[in-house]
């Protein structure tokens, strides 16, 4: 009997470990600053780090579509350059902070609470590509080809003419830009996705929660 109880408790702890990790991540995201910090409105000096020029609103989708190719070129380089490493590291961290752009409207909707943080990681992607073009040991032929491809796509879309309030905002590798969480309830696509995520999490909790097994006793009476 005692062994059965101990086993049930162990299985319960094991089954809840992934769920606890998911809740920890959600709590971490929720504990992030409620408003993204803008260097242009900072009272003090900008943080020490690599400065990243912003990009136009219309350029974001083009960089997003070519981001996997930029990452592949960065990972294939030979040698080590500190600036390149810092840009690549910032790109990864900022992408995580912005939930990898999966929230609807993050890139296309200026009113999205995720739009500013999307500007940040996509600007980092472009800066990384331009930095690779000057780094010894990189595949310059492929890099130049990708830069040319991106320029053609931006010209075809008129991307350089499409501005928004974050288009002139510089970023920095020492400053993570978080979403504007306080705006999320008032942005329907974000609110709908949050509701769907909560529903999925609730179903996962319900499915993972251990249930007491009912064993029939002698005489047909259940315990």
Higher pLDDT, 200 or 208: 208
Beta strand extents in the chain (DSSP E only) = 51-52, 171-172
Question: Which of 22-60 are b and which e, b meaning 16 or more Cβ less than 10 Å from the residue's Cβ?
Answer: eeeeeeeeeeeeeebeeeeeeeeeeeeebebebbbbbbb
Task: Map out the domains of the chain as residue ranges.
Answer: 46-198
**Mean pLDDT, range 121-142, rounded to an integer:** 93
What's the pLDDT score for residue 18?
43
| Dist. CA 74–CA 91, nearest whole Å | 11
**Mean pLDDT, range 136-142, rounded to an integer:** 89
| Dist. CA 157–CA 57, nearest whole Å | 12
| Dist. CA 96–CA 120, nearest whole Å | 11
- pLDDT tier, 192 (very low <50, low <70, confident <90, very high otherwise): confident
Q: What is the pLDDT of residues 21-31, one digit of tens each?
A: 344 344 444 44
């Amino acid at each position: 009997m005692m062994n059965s109880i101990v086993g049930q408790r162990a299985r319960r702890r094991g089954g809840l470990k992934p769920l606890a990790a998911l809740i920890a991540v959600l709590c971490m995201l929720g504990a992030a600053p409620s408003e993204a910090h803008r260097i242009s409105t900072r009272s003090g000096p900008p943080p020490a780090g690599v400065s990243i020029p912003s990009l136009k609103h219309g350029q974001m989708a083009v960089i997003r579509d070519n981001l996997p190719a930029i990452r592949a070129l960065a990972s294939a380089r030979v040698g080590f350059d500190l600036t390149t490493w810092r840009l690549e590291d910032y790109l990864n961290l900022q992408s995580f902070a912005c939930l990898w752009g999966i929230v609807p409207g993050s890139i296309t909707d200026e009113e999205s609470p995720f739009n500013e943080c999307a500007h940040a990681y996509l600007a980092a992607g472009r800066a990384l590509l331009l930095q690779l073009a000057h780094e010894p040991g990189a595949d310059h032929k492929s890099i130049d080809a990708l830069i040319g491809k991106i320029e053609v796509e931006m010209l075809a879309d008129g991307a350089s003419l499409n501005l928004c309030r974050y288009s002139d905002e510089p970023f920095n590798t020492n400053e993570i830009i978080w979403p504007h969480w306080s705006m999320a309830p008032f942005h329907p696509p974000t609110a709908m996705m949050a509701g769907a995520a909560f529903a999925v999490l609730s179903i996962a909790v319900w499915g993972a929660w251990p249930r007491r097994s009912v064993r029939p006793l002698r005489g047909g009476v259940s315990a």
